[in-house]
Amino acid sequence: MAALADRPQMLLSEFEELARIAARTAEGLRLEFINGRLGVKAVPDGDHGRIIQWLTRICMQVRPELWLHPDQGLEIKTYRDGRARSDGALASSDAFVGVGEWAAPEAVLMVVEVTSYDSDTDRRDRREKPRAYAQTGIPVYLLIDRDTCEVTVYSEPEGERYGKTLTVSFGKPVTLPDPVGIELDTEPLKDWVR
């Protein structure tokens, strides 16, 4: 039975076709393919969107040569090819010009995920994505966890995991390490949780 559990649910090409169809026909449906499993991301609520706006503004002020690309589809290099749709991907403004829906991650300095209030967020944002993003070599993964009211910064990817993890409560400052190099005052995040 373990052999069946290890098999991907579908081929990568089948997932990409399904994702294209969903994008055209099911407004707000956002699909991902991580560790050979199909996943559905919750449609962001207003507070989720406001958090991305807040972070985008900070990134623009401190690092104007960069842009926080929302909902960027990324190719992730887990042992089963995958596709993740990050809430934000920090890269140069032109990093994804001329690229299709799923971009190579080499230009990405940081990915951002903001937890949603759904049953899948624990597995997806707290367990699968740190591993997938580390394996892909993305330097920094920023998790804004609205359930726990904490910010977790993952950095220094080492194979299947990040070598450094720092978690702070909303309201405390946190530094996004190089190559990002931004200090965040997380106090405003307290206003955007249930």
Tens digit of pLDDT for each residue in 53-85? 999 999 999 999 999 999 888 998 764 568 888
Which of 26-30, 36-40, 59-63, 120-124 is modeled with the greatest confidence?
Answer: 59-63
pLDDT, position 103: 92
Domains, the chain, in order of start with CATH, read 44-192 (3.90.1570.10)
Report pLDDT digits (tens) over 133-188. Answer: 999 999 999 999 999 999 999 999 998 899 999 999 999 999 999 999 999 999 99
Whether 42 and 32 have beta carbons less than 8 Å apart is answered as no
Looking only at the bridges linking them, the beta strands covering 161-169 and 73-76 are unpaired
Q: What is the pTM of this model?
A: 0.78
Is residue 167 within 8 A of residue 150, CB to CB? The reply is yes
Is pLDDT at 6 greater than 60 in this prediction? no
DSSP string, 138-183: -SEEEEEETTTTEEEEEEEEETTEEEEEEEEETTSEEEETTTT-EE
